[in-house]
């Protein structure tokens, strides 16, 4: 695989970075617009990519130590990971289901894969315990040796197709997998204390999985490996001597599919400190790159990324993906980006010049440029990234603050609420509730159903408007603590204001509005995880691919940095490769 040049990195404090690039930081009024962050793509700060870099840099030893499956793919698989002084096992129990019961829903009753990432040695007794509890998923009870619980299904369209091709001694036909970036599709990665698992706060200092989402990303990477191994095993058992394994670029092309719904919206809204850290890392890196002068190495690296993205998108299908661009539209955007860079590369600050061009384009083109420019950042290394993404989410409300001061903060920091037309009848169109049938977040038309104490308190814009009205009616010298004693219903909004000094914590949106589009918050989070190939299936959910092109277990010791991202679809046998 081709790799690109990378410069050395340094580790200043994130706050210093934000301050030092203040003149080029994009303002929250731009960054936090739904259409803008809803066009985000993965960057080198995405969690999947930092996991691969860490595993390669620290030479994690990963091997498949048990694989007992029949020709239909039913059985058990165990992968062992040695990372520093720690040992982990990814344990998967597989079966088959009728196609009619396959579902992307979190609340399915059964899955073809049920798996867990566990810490420590795997005894026969522990394996037997996992064999009982892991397939139960939410209905089971685990212990702190379990770090991640996951499940999923095979791709209905492509698993058996790939098995048949390999069993007959043939690689996949690229025309048959034009829109397929995965072999298996996951539906959840539970962690952080759920169902008795270890809490993230229980990871000691220096733990190899002690960075946010690293345990989930390790589980996802091994889940993807299981997909490859399952197909090759079924092909070998069915095809005998004629069977082959994935070869050439097919060995790494497929990722892990994922289907994501409305559950990401409450997370985005409920964790403003986390969201601010995610945005701040990206924005400080972009501002830094915009301040860099031209150099042959940087320009070559950026051209490499443009060409890479162009090949990837051009080799995809041309299915419309509203509200976003199709892959072929994105390939055309890469051509325009390449031409714009040719115009800017002689400027004193070519990357700033390219960004200024991009911000005059559509949101997808602009954010594609942002992702490519961030690849040039040398101000944030992986250690600093791990540190700044660990945040304290306690807003620390001062009960002695006066109502007058609270009102000033509301006026100064939430003036954008006036842009949302919160007095319009459509502003309170939806309730966000927990479904009685599925226990999943849902939005329901407010006139049609009452929440009956099942409401999910993410109606931030409406709560802040109500708080502003109450503050205007209260004596300005009233202490906030006294105010909340009389009006406890405003406690969430007051806490929101208390943490509002974070520049990138609030989406300029109202999740209860009739026109609210969940896909935008979902996409930003998925890009931060490292997912791509965004394929909306409605206004509420979409399918994506994770780890497409990433190194396999056997290749991690020679992983080429981040050069695996955005792989082009492999060419057919005898066809020229770009």
Question: Positive or negative, the Cα torsion across 168, 171, 175, 181?
Answer: positive
What pLDDT, on the 0 to 100 scale, is given for residue 560?
Answer: 65
What pLDDT, on the 0 to 100 scale, is given for residue 578?
Answer: 34
Q: Cα–Cα distance between 228 and 56 in angstroms, integer? A: 20
Burial string for 359-379 (b: 16+ CB within 10 Å, else e) reads: eebebbbbbbbbbbbbbbbeb
66 neighbors 92 (Cβ within 8 angstroms): no
Mean pLDDT in consecutive groups of 10 residues from the start of the chain, 578 residues: 36 64 91 98 97 94 97 97 96 91 71 97 97 93 96 92 97 84 93 93 93 96 98 98 96 94 93 93 95 96 98 91 95 98 95 98 98 94 87 83 96 95 93 78 86 83 96 96 96 90 93 97 97 94 95 85 93 48
Q: Among all chains, which residue has been given the structure tokens 């993230």?
A: 200
Strand partners, 293: none
Q: Cα–Cα distance between 77 and 61 in angstroms, integer? A: 17
What pLDDT, on the 0 to 100 scale, is given for residue 574?
Answer: 42
119 neighbors 81 (Cβ within 8 angstroms): no
- Sheet (strand 61-69) strand order: 61-69, 75-83, 86-94, 113-119, 146-154, 182-190, 255-260, 542-546, 531-536
Q: What tokens does 549 get?
A: 């092109």
330 neighbors 364 (Cβ within 8 angstroms): yes
Q: Are strands 255-260 and 430-434 parallel, antiparallel or unpaired?
A: unpaired
Q: Cα–Cα distance between 388 and 514 in angstroms, integer? A: 36
Query: 3-state DSSP helix/strand/coil percent for the chain, to nearest 5?
Result: 45, 15, 40
- Residue 139 has a CB neighbour count (10 Å cut-off) of 9
What pLDDT, on the 0 to 100 scale, is given for residue 576?
Answer: 36
- Residue 496 has a CB neighbour count (10 Å cut-off) of 22
Of 496, 501, 498, the C-alpha closest to 461 is 496
Residue pLDDT, tens place only, 93-122: 999 998 777 766 666 778 999 999 999 999
The end-to-end CA distance of the chain, in Å, is: 13
Q: Among all chains, which residue has been given the structure tokens 């840099």?
A: 57
Angle between helices 272-290 and 363-374 (to 10 degrees): 80
Residue pLDDT, tens place only, 13-49: 666 767 777 888 999 999 999 999 999 999 999 999 9
What pLDDT, on the 0 to 100 scale, is given for residue 8?
Answer: 33
Which conformational region is residue 396 in: left (phi greater than 0), alpha (psi within -120 to 50 degrees), or beta?
A: left
Strand partners, 92: 77, 115
Q: Cα–Cα distance between 62 and 81 in angstroms, integer? A: 5
């Amino acid at each position: 695989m081709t790799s690109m040049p990378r410069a050395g990195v340094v580790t200043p404090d994130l706050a210093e970075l934000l301050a030092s690039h203040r003149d080029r930081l994009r303002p929250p009024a731009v960054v936090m617009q739904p259409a803008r962050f809803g066009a985000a793509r993965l960057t080198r700060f995405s969690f999947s990519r930092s996991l691969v870099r860490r595993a390669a840099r620290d030479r994690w030893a990963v091997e498949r130590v048990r694989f007992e499956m029949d020709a239909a793919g039913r059985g058990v698989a165990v992968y062992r990971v040695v990372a520093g002084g720690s040992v982990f096992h990814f344990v998967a129990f597989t079966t088959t289901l009728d196609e009619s019961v396959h579902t992307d829903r979190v609340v399915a009753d059964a899955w073809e894969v049920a798996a867990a990432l566990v810490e420590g040695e795997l005894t026969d007794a522990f394996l037997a315990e996992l064999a009982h509890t892991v397939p139960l998923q939410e209905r089971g009870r685990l212990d702190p040796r379990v770090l991640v619980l996951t499940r999923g299904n095979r791709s209905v369209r492509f698993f058996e197709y790939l098995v048949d091709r390999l069993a007959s001694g043939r690689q996949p036909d690229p025309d048959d997998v034009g829109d397929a970036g995965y072999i298996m599709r996951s539906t959840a990665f539970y962690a952080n204390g759920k169902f008795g698992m270890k809490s993230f706060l229980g990871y000691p200092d220096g733990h190899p999985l002690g960075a946010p989402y690293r345990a989930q990303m390790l589980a996802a990477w091994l889940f993807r490996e299981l997909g490859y191994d399952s197909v090759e095993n079924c092909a070998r058992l069915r095809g005998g001597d004629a069977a082959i394994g994935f070869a050439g670029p097919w060995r790494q092309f497929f990722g892990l599919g994922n289907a994501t719904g409305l559950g990401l919206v409450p997370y985005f809204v409920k964790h403003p400190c986390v969201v601010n850290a995610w945005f701040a890392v990206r924005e400080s890196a972009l501002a830094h790159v915009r301040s860099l002068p031209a150099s042959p190495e940087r320009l070559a690296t950026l051209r490499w990324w443009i060409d890479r993205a162009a090949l990837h998108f051009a080799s995809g299908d041309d299915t419309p993906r509203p509200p976003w661009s199709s892959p072929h539209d994105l390939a055309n955007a890469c051509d325009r980006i390449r031409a714009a860079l040719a115009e800017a590369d002689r400027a004193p600050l070519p990357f700033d010049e390219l960004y200024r061009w991009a911000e005059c384009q559509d949101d997808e083109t602009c954010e594609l440029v942002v992702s490519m420019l961030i690849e040039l950042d040398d101000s944030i290394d992986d250690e600093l990234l791990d540190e700044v993404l660990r945040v304290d989410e306690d807003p620390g409300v001062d009960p002695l603050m006066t109502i007058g001061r609270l009102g000033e903060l509301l006026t100064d920091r939430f003036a954008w609420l006036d842009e949302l037309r919160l007095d319009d009848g459509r502003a309170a169109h939806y309730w966000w509730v927990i479904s009685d049938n599925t226990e999943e977040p849902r939005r329901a038309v407010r006139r049609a159903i009452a929440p009956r104490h099942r409401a999910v308190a993410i109606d931030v814009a409406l709560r802040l408007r109500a708080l502003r009205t109450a503050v205007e009616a209260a004596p300005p010298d009233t202490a906030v603590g006294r105010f909340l004693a009389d009006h406890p219903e405003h406690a969430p909004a007051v806490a929101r204001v208390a943490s509002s000094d974070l520049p990138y914590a609030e989406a300029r949106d109202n999740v209860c509005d009739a026109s609210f589009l969940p896909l935008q918050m979902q996409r930003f989070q998925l890009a931060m995880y490292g997912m791509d190939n965004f394929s909306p299936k409605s206004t509420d959910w979409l399918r994506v691919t994770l780890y497409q092109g990433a190194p396999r277990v056997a290749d991690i010791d020679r992983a080429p940095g981040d050069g695996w991202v955005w792989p082009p679809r492999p060419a057919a046998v005898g066809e020229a490769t770009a």
